[in-house]
Structure formats: C-alpha cells, structure tokens
Chains A and B, each alone.
Chain A
Amino acid sequence: MKGPRRDRRFAFLVLGVVPLAGCGGSQDSLAPHSHQARDIANLFWWMMGGAWIGLALVVGLLVWSYKRRKRRGFGDDVEGDKPGEKRSWYAVLGLGIAMPIVVISTLFVISDLFVIKTTQAPASTTTRLTVKVIGHQWWWEVRYPGTNAVTANELHIPVRTPVRVEVTTADVIHSFWVPELNKKVDTIPGQTNVVELDADQPGRYRGQCAEFCGLQHAHMAMYVFADEPSAFRRWLSREEKPAQSPSGGLAADGERLFLNGPCSSCHAIRGTDADGFVGPDLTHVASRTTLAAVTIPNDRDSLRNWIVDSQHVKPGNLMPNFSVSGHKLDALVAYLEGLK
C-alpha cells in the first residue's frame, strides 16, 4: 500500500476538494501517525474506492435507462408488461445477491478478523507505560500510575512506545479520541476502557471528546504530545514534583489568595493545602500550552480573562466568574504563571 501522504493527496483529488491547511492543529483521521491509525486509514481508502465503483454502477444503470428510455426489454423479449424479465432476474441475482456477498465477506474478513486485532486494547504486558485518563465535564484529568504526576488536557507520551491508556469517567459518558493515533473509546461509568497510543513521530496531536456530554461538549479537546523518550522522562520527573512556593512579592500574595480563597476548594496544587478535585490539578499549570481543555492559549491575558469571565469564554462550565481585579488579580495571575 502507498504511504499515507501520497494517499492523502490522491484522496482529495478523488473527493474533488482541496485540503485546507490548518494552523490550529488537526485531528485528521486520514493523516495517521501510528500503525493503528494507518491501518484504519488504508482500510478507508480501499472501501472508498469500492464505494465509488458501486455508485458508478448504479448511476450507470440509471443513465443507461435514460438513454434507452424509448426501448423496452432486451432483444426479442419486449412484449407484455414484464419485458426483459428473465435477464433482469439474472442481473438482480448477480448484482444484488452474489456480488455483495463476495464484496462484503471480503471486507468482513479483512477488517473484523485482521485489522481489528491491530487496533485492539493491548494487554498490560505488551506496553511499557500506562496512563490513566479520566473524563470530567468538560476537561480531561491525566494521571501516570506509579508516579505522583497529575495533569490535565495535555497528555505526554514517549514516541515509538506502545502506551496503554485507561479511560474512565468522573461523571457522564465521554469519548477519548485522538484520530491521528487510534480509534476512540468511550468512558463508561463503572467501567474502565483501554486504548493503545503508539505515535511513530514526535509531535502534537489534537483529540476531542466525541460523545455528547452536555453544554460544553464542544470545548473538551486535548493535546497528546509525543516526545522523544529522554524528553518525556524529563517532563515526567518535573511533573511529579510538588509546586514550589514563591519566595515573596506578588506571587506570594497570589498564593495566599489562592489557598484562602475559593480557588482551593475546587483545584489541587500539590505541596500546598489546596486539594480540590472538581477542577484540574494546577501544580504545573504554567507548563501547559492551553487552558480550559484547549479552548484558549495559556498566556497572561487569557488567564486573567478566564478567572474573571470564564462563563463568557466557556458558558456553563463549572467555574463561576470571580469578581477580583487590580492587585488581587495581578497577584493570582503571577502565582499561577510561576507554577512551571
């Protein structure tokens, strides 16, 4: 089979449209970056080729019927109100029964006996790392069992390494889906589902909740960062550490505000008294590239705006708007920006 990139160009030629270059990241199931996603994409190209042939056959028959609209039946069989019935029966038996049996059996065997094996949930013995992902309304909690690392919405994995992702939910059904790496799995209450991620190139892959989960289902995205193994180990060891208390100044004011105010009742910061679990763990929030489940960039203006007006950015999300301003807001932002 051809490589994925050539396939893609071919595809858009066939579909008759031009791909639009994306700059916000893509979650393109036809731009696979793992062997699982590639198998699924290749399966699709073959099926789409077959589908165009099938459609051409039917359209051909309809066009043919238009061209011969003044002619009944076939050959000598033109009388009565069932002209050409015998040959039509052969056509129905051949095209309507025999052909689909052959085509669909082939598809069934290839996809459901072979390709399905490559996308299946891996046994824990065949993977070198397990990550737990917990769906929340409307963000993703990410844990690395065996370490203290807890983060949100940005999942780091080592590249070229099979990673076992165990997905569960804290509330309703969500669906964990990073299309460039693998199929999706739902998070079902009371049940753990598993999917394997095995990126073959370093990079950032966008994913999104695929099962309707309420008001902000649209803003429940995530990034998967596939890092070189050494970079991944560095990231994980930093992520494991508790937060460092600011030594003074604005950020220290911010820490006091955070711990004594409403923030800590919902958010945890390891190494402090803040141990809320409704919202994301903020221990290393400044090391993340986005906020609010990949809704806004993680920069100073967005963060300020999020604290005072999150209900405008992501209406209905579980964090209320806080009426802080001036020094207090500056202090909070300075503290959070320091949580690298």
Chain B
Amino acid sequence: MAIATPPNPAAAERMERLELIWESRPGILGWLTTTDHKRIGLLYFWTTLALFGAGGAEALLIRTQLAQPNQHVVSPQTFDELFTMHGITMIFFFIIPMTTGAFGNYLLPLLLGARDMAFPRMNALSYWIFLASAVFIYTSLFIGKAPDAGWFNYVPLASKKYDPGHNIDFYCLGIIFNSIASTLTAGQFIVTILKSRAPGMSLNRMPLFCYAMLAASFGLLFALPSLSADTIFLFLDRNVGTHFFDPSHGGSTLLWQHLFWIFGHPEVYILIVPAFGIATSIIPAFTQRRLVAFPLVAIAELLVVFIGFGVWAHHMYTVGMPTVSMVFFAAATAMVIIPSTIQVFAWCMSFVTGLPTFRTPLLFIAGFIFMFVTGGLTGIMFVAIPFDQQVTDTYFVIAHFHYIIFGAAVFPIFGGMYYWFPKVTGKLYFERPGQISFWLIFLGTNLLFFPMHIVGLLGMTRRVYTYPSGIGWTAYNLAETIGGFVTLGGILVLLGNLAVSYFRGPPSGPDPWRGPTLEWTTSSPPPEYDFAVIPRVTSAYPNWDPADREADRLKLADGVLMLERGHEQPEVTPVDGRLARVAHMPHESPWPAVLALALALLFTMLLIDRWGTAGIMGIVCLLALVGWHMQEPEEE
C-alpha cells in the first residue's frame, strides 16, 4: 500500500504544506523556470521524442533511396546530410538525452527516495542547453547546410579544403554545445546518486537502475572532453588556420580518429548501459524475483564502461597501425565481453527462476536480450582482427551496431515507456495493442537489420547513396526497406496506444505491477515533493519490504522525517548511506533558460564569424551566471 492518502488531519496539513513549498508556478512560466526533476524529465522526453521522429524520418528516407539500385529519390548531397544527421540525432539528440535526460531525470530521485536532483537549477540548465543545441543543429538542415561528412566526421574530408561551407562548423559547434548539456547532466547525476539517496540506502542497497546511470554518467564525464578537444581543434583548423590535422604542416589526420574514438567507443556503452538499467528495473517487477547475482551485475555495469575506455582503436584496424597495438586493443575488446555475458545470463536466469508474466514491458526486455545477444555475437567477431579488417565499413557493421543501438538501447526505452507509463500518468496502457506494437517492432527491426549482415558480407560498403544492380544486393536492400516501414508501423501503434491510454486508460493506482523500487510507494503521478516521508530503506527492493513501508506510514501519521518546514532534502554519506545533513534546495529560477539562450546566441555568432559579438555574448553569459548566484539560497 502506498502512502497516497493522509492517515490523519495533522498529516494532511503537513502534506499540504509540502505541496505549497514544492509546487511550480502555474502555466508556461512554470515550465520555463521549473527545477522539478519530473517536469525537466518530461521536457526532455517530449523533445527527444520529437528528435527521434526526425532521426527516424531521415532513416526512412535513406532506406527509400536504397530500396532499389540506381534510384534518385534524394541527391547525393542530401543523402550525405541525411545519414550524417541520422547518426548525430540518434546518438546525441535521442538516446543519450532520452535515457539520461528523460528516464534518468524523472526516475532517479524517485528510485533513490529523494525529492529532487542534487543541483536542480543545473539540471534545468542542461535541458535548456540541450534544447538550444538541438534547434541550432537542426537549423543547418533547414538552410541546406547540414553536416555532411558523417557523424564520425573524418578529416581531411571535413577540413575547409574539402568542405568549405558552414556544414562542418555546424557540426563542431553543435557537438560542443550539446556536450555542455551532457556534461551538466552527468556531473549532477553522479552527485545525486552518491549524495541524495534515502537514509539507509547504502551502495549495496541501491537499485541497479542507479548503478547504470552512475556508470553512464562517469562514462560521459570522462569521454566527452576528448570529443570536445577534437571538435575545438577542427573548428580552429577550419576558422583560425591552425594545423592540428594537416600532415603537410606537421599535424596528423589520425589524431582526429584517435580522439574521436576515445570518446566514440565509451559512447556506445554510455548509450546501452542506461538501457541495461531499465531492463534490470523491469525484470524483477515482471518475474517477481530479485535479480539474480545482484552484486555481480552491479559491478558488471560499472566494469563495462571502464573497460570500454580501452578498446577505441578497434574502430581503426585498417588505418595501418602496428600489429602489436592492434592485438592489444583486440584483447581489451575481448575483455569487455565478459561483463556483458555476466549480465545476459543473470537476466536469463531471473526469467527462468522467477514467475515471468510476459506483458508488454517484459516482452520488450525479452526482445532486447535477443537483439543484444545477436549484436553482441557479431561484436565478438570483431575480436578477430583480420575479419574486422574485411567487413569494417560494410553493412555488416551497420547490422551489428543497429542490433546493439536499436535492439539493446531503444527496445528497453520502449519497454520502459510502457512500464513507467502508469507511474507518470496514473493510467494503465492497453495490453493487446501493446503486444501488437512489440511484435511489429521486433519483426520489423529484424527484417530491417538482419539482411544487412548478408549484404555486408557480399561487399556492400557503408555510406553509399546508391549501388549498381546485378551485384546481388537488391533483394536484401528491398527487404530492409520493408522492415523499416514495418518498424515505423509498430512505433506508431506504440505511440497511439499510449496516447489513447492517457485519455481513456483505466486508473492505475500507485503500484500496478507490485514493483520492487521506491517509485511505486508514492502516488501516480507522484506529488511534486515525490515522497511525503523520507522513506526507510533496508534493501535494494524497498517496496517488497512491508515492515519498512509500515514504518513510513507510522512516520507520516506522527509527522516524523517529513521535512515540511522548508525546501529541504536529506543528504547521506556516499557509501554507507547514513544521514549526513539536511540540504536546503534552490527554488525555481529563470536564469538557466536565460543562460542557455545567451549561449545559443554565442554559438551562432561563432558560426557566422562575428567574433566581436560572440565576445559580447560571452559577457552576457557571465552576467547571467552572476544573476543566477545572486539568488543562491541562504545556508542555515
């Protein structure tokens, strides 16, 4: 039983006071100035969903162009812009912000037993910067100057000499801009996870979802500087006349590739580890069993990101590295497989020994395991350097990483959308169309991506805007295109189902699944203060500890640990989760949105070479920061 209804008038009064302290301003101004993690999570959700639509439309245009040989649906230039924007969008503007920004923001405090993120205004800033960077980079597509050298953007193709327009400047500035948002998210996630847990939630009692977010945040924090350095170097090469990547002046073209993949491979794990977190939330709920080998899985989630930092050069086996370097990176690539296999079999054994009810969320997780294992097995093949050198830059690789990125990252996102839909809306989704949407997406993606393995082995290279007939590739390409549209159908059924459920769905109550973690102890949708009483936690599955929940109810009746006197939340020691102090939280603020707007203008001025105006905008940013800190809440 959740604490949704106050047990006595005194408790009702205290909850009313909490409501007054935590509620946002009404109307649009409330959304612009909000620091509520749930509102920011929803803003992230709607923005990334729209960008998912854009990235998906780009993908379908690519597939339409390639459905038959020698077609002219789009021009070669448009095709290059489409596949570049597809990659950038799905990686930087959909999966990372969807899993961390939307799922992470909405759910982390709810799973940790907190009332907000550790730095709510920094959180708001990350969203507004993210939104501005998305608008910035999509402007390029609408003025016909979208990045066109691939998301990997290799030099010298991306240098001023071979790409003189503003296309690549949009890329450099857009990526740097977006990285600021991701860095802000990552930094405050780490602090939130380590400091803002409910007292009693020591690290070994922390839900696996939070471990996954912790791993992804550390990954982002350490990987992004490499990408930022790379894009800044390129921007300087293009606009100031430096020679970082120009071998004729002592630079190196491979420097770009190394810096890019030092970011780029950890990035792959950053994309999928939060999805592992979603999976490890859904599996216990729908098998009614604690996840098998909890400590091993927690360590594996962290290890996969850590080892992921040592494998980058396996993207570069064909550039002519010494054999000994390649063998080193192949060994690291082999090692990173172990934490993944640990998790796969822990998930599977939880299915086997629990009582799985194959409702839509668990179906998506079963589909996710299938896709992840398929993509993982072709990933293991890349340990074999000669085979990697044969199939790299072919459709075989596209098949491999779409099984990982669509199968292993997006399937859990869909599963998570169904799983937490009742929590966010207070309504139940409809089960039958949910299952239909799963099967359409599952069959569609396999028809879309499996033939790519074959056509890649048959020699079809990546990033070609067309291909000749009579070479044995046509039928597979047509099948892939059909699969793409079946997948689209499935996604439309999913979104339609959720939309109809929002208006017509039966009320869900606080805990429709008998979920294991703290978010299911509060009402659906959760109140602005998340929890009326700071919950008591003695295990990683607190909602399955009836004694603790009974204790919370007594505390609510007696008004203990409600912190209803101010805008407050407890802070704990990072490892043991002992109460350290009660922190005063900042209120809503317009400054994050103002600062993001000033930054957007700064980046626009850099783009159009108005260095002076850019400097002025830099000063405006500093002034915004001053304004921000003038409102810093008083310490008691």
Interchain CA distance A19-B459 in the complex, whole Å? 13
The listed residue (B253, B337, B394) touching A100 by CB distance below 8 A is B337
Q: Does A158 contact B (CB under 8 A)?
A: no
Known: A193-B320, A215-B80. A83 touches B472 (CB 8 A): no
Interchain CA distance A47-B248 in the complex, whole Å? 42
| A234, chain B: closest CB distance, angstroms | 30
Is A51 touching B390 in the complex (CB atoms < 8 A)? no
Q: Does A261 contact B (CB under 8 A)?
A: no
Which stretch (B93-101, B178-186, B463-471, B610-618) binds chain A?
A: B463-471
Q: Does B544 contact A (CB under 8 A)?
A: yes
Q: Does B2 contact A (CB under 8 A)?
A: no
Is A108 touching B331 in the complex (CB atoms < 8 A)? yes
Known: A65-B352, A185-B318, A212-B463. A15 touches B454 (CB 8 A): yes
Which stretch (B371-379, B552-560, B575-583) binds chain A?
A: B371-379
Number of interface residues of B (CB under 8 A): 92
| Interface residues as binary, A169-182 with B (CB distance below 8 Å gives 1, 0 otherwise) | 00111010101000
- Interface size band for A: 35 or more
The listed residue (A58, A70, A92) touching B293 by CB distance below 8 A is A92
Interchain CA distance A284-B7 in the complex, whole Å? 95
Q: Does B239 contact A (CB under 8 A)?
A: no
Is A47 touching B461 in the complex (CB atoms < 8 A)? no
Is A27 touching B459 in the complex (CB atoms < 8 A)? yes
Is B157 touching A213 in the complex (CB atoms < 8 A)? yes
Is A61 touching B348 in the complex (CB atoms < 8 A)? yes
Q: Does A72 contact B (CB under 8 A)?
A: yes
| Interface residues as binary, B297-328 with A (CB distance below 8 Å gives 1, 0 otherwise) | 00000000000000000000011100100110
Is A210 touching B472 in the complex (CB atoms < 8 A)? no
Question: In the complex, what residue of chain A is closest to B465 when comparing beta carbons?
Answer: A218
The listed residue (A91, A112, A215) touching B384 by CB distance below 8 A is A112
The listed residue (B248, B356, B385) touching A66 by CB distance below 8 A is B356
Q: Does A189 contact B (CB under 8 A)?
A: yes
Question: In the complex, what residue of chain A is closest to B300 when comparing beta carbons?
Answer: A96
Q: Does B351 contact A (CB under 8 A)?
A: yes
Question: In the complex, what residue of chain A is closest to B153 when comparing beta carbons?
Answer: A212
Is A214 touching B337 in the complex (CB atoms < 8 A)? no
| Interface residues as binary, A122-144 with B (CB distance below 8 Å gives 1, 0 otherwise) | 00000000000000010000000
Q: Does A231 contact B (CB under 8 A)?
A: no
Q: Does B344 contact A (CB under 8 A)?
A: yes
Report chain A residues within 8 Å CB of B290.
81-82
The listed residue (A40, A43, A191, A316) touching B77 by CB distance below 8 A is A316
Is A85 touching B353 in the complex (CB atoms < 8 A)? yes
Is B390 touching A179 in the complex (CB atoms < 8 A)? yes
Is B475 touching A20 in the complex (CB atoms < 8 A)? yes
Question: In the complex, what residue of chain A is closest to B451 when comparing beta carbons?
Answer: A17
The listed residue (B254, B348, B391) touching A65 by CB distance below 8 A is B348
Known: A51-B377, A62-B366, A186-B320. A82 touches B156 (CB 8 A): no
The listed residue (B326, B377, B544) touching A81 by CB distance below 8 A is B544
The listed residue (B149, B289, B380, B470) touching A104 by CB distance below 8 A is B380
Q: Does A13 contact B (CB under 8 A)?
A: no
| Interface residues as binary, A21-52 with B (CB distance below 8 Å gives 1, 0 otherwise) | 11111111110000011011001100100110
| Interface residues as binary, B63-90 with A (CB distance below 8 Å gives 1, 0 otherwise) | 0000000000001110010000000000
Q: Does A73 contact B (CB under 8 A)?
A: yes
Is A51 touching B334 in the complex (CB atoms < 8 A)? no
The listed residue (A40, A72, A191) touching B289 by CB distance below 8 A is A72
The listed residue (A28, A62, A72, A85) touching B459 by CB distance below 8 A is A28
Q: Does A59 contact B (CB under 8 A)?
A: yes
Report chain B residues within 8 Å CB of A36.
386
Q: Does B501 contact A (CB under 8 A)?
A: no
Report chain A residues within 8 Å CB of B357.
69
| Interface residues as binary, A89-106 with B (CB distance below 8 Å gives 1, 0 otherwise) | 101100111011100110
Report chain A residues within 8 Å CB of B467.
218
Is B323 touching A120 in the complex (CB atoms < 8 A)? yes
Is A70 touching B463 in the complex (CB atoms < 8 A)? no
Question: In the complex, what residue of chain A is closest to B319 when comparing beta carbons?
Answer: A186
Which among A15, A27, A68, A212 has the highest number of chain B CB atoms within 10 Å? A212
Interchain CA distance A214-B501 in the complex, whole Å? 47
Question: In the complex, what residue of chain A is closest to B256 when comparing beta carbons?
Answer: A173
Is B253 touching A29 in the complex (CB atoms < 8 A)? no
The listed residue (A22, A211, A315) touching B471 by CB distance below 8 A is A22
* Total number of residue pairs linking A and B with CB closer than 8 Å: 283
Interchain CA distance A103-B538 in the complex, whole Å? 40
Report chain A residues within 8 Å CB of B296.
92
Report chain A residues within 8 Å CB of B378.
51
Q: Does A3 contact B (CB under 8 A)?
A: no
Interchain CA distance A96-B296 in the complex, whole Å? 11
Is A315 touching B76 in the complex (CB atoms < 8 A)? yes
Known: A73-B353, A179-B390, A186-B320. A62 touches B369 (CB 8 A): yes
Known: A22-B470, A24-B470. A44 touches B373 (CB 8 A): no
Q: Does A88 contact B (CB under 8 A)?
A: yes
Is B319 touching A29 in the complex (CB atoms < 8 A)? no
Question: In the complex, what residue of chain A is closest to B250 when comparing beta carbons?
Answer: A190
Report chain B residues within 8 Å CB of A85.
292, 353
| A95, chain B: closest CB distance, angstroms | 5
Question: In the complex, what residue of chain A is closest to B329 when comparing beta carbons?
Answer: A112
Report chain A residues within 8 Å CB of B451.
17
Is B386 touching A81 in the complex (CB atoms < 8 A)? no
Q: Does A302 contact B (CB under 8 A)?
A: no
Report chain A residues within 8 Å CB of B523.
none
Is B386 touching A183 in the complex (CB atoms < 8 A)? yes
Question: In the complex, what residue of chain A is closest to B544 when comparing beta carbons?
Answer: A81
Q: Does A10 contact B (CB under 8 A)?
A: no
Is A105 touching B353 in the complex (CB atoms < 8 A)? no
| B439, chain A: closest CB distance, angstroms | 15
Report chain A residues within 8 Å CB of B80.
214-215
Interchain CA distance A39-B385 in the complex, whole Å? 12
Interchain CA distance A216-B318 in the complex, whole Å? 21
| A89, chain B: closest CB distance, angstroms | 6
| B443, chain A: closest CB distance, angstroms | 15
Q: Does A157 contact B (CB under 8 A)?
A: no
Interchain CA distance A70-B287 in the complex, whole Å? 10
Interchain CA distance A190-B377 in the complex, whole Å? 36
| A322, chain B: closest CB distance, angstroms | 21
Question: In the complex, what residue of chain B is closest to A58 when comparing beta carbons?
Answer: B373
The listed residue (A54, A173, A184, A191) touching B392 by CB distance below 8 A is A184
Q: Does B504 contact A (CB under 8 A)?
A: no
Interchain CA distance A55-B350 in the complex, whole Å? 18
Report chain B residues within 8 Å CB of A190.
247-248, 252-253
Report chain A residues within 8 Å CB of B461.
177, 208-210
Interchain CA distance A39-B451 in the complex, whole Å? 23
3 smallest beta-carbon distances between A and B, as pairs: A190-B247, A27-B459, A24-B470
| CB<8 Å pairs between A and B, sample of 30 | A17-B476, A21-B472, A22-B472, A28-B457, A29-B391, A43-B386, A44-B381, A47-B381, A47-B387, A58-B348, A64-B352, A69-B355, A72-B353, A73-B353, A88-B292, A88-B352, A95-B345, A104-B334, A112-B327, A115-B386, A116-B323, A118-B386, A173-B156, A184-B390, A184-B392, A186-B320, A194-B320, A209-B461, A210-B462, A218-B465
Apart from A66-B356, A107-B380, A111-B386, 11 more pairs, CB < 8 Å = A15-B454, A25-B471, A29-B390, A51-B378, A55-B370, A69-B358, A104-B334, A111-B383, A112-B327, A183-B389, A212-B463
Q: Which residues of A contact B (CB under 8 A)?
A: 15, 17, 19-30, 36-37, 39-40, 43-44, 47, 50-51, 54-55, 58-59, 61-62, 64-66, 68-74, 81-85, 87-89, 91-92, 95-97, 99-101, 104-105, 107-108, 110-113, 115-116, 118-120, 137, 171-173, 175, 177, 179, 183-186, 188-191, 193-194, 206, 208-218, 315-316
Q: Which residues of B contact A (CB under 8 A)?
A: 75-77, 80, 149-150, 154, 156-157, 162, 247-248, 252-254, 288-290, 292-293, 296, 318-320, 323, 326-327, 330-331, 334, 337-338, 341-346, 348-358, 366, 369-370, 373-374, 377-378, 380-381, 383-387, 389-394, 451, 453-454, 457-459, 461-472, 474-476, 541, 544
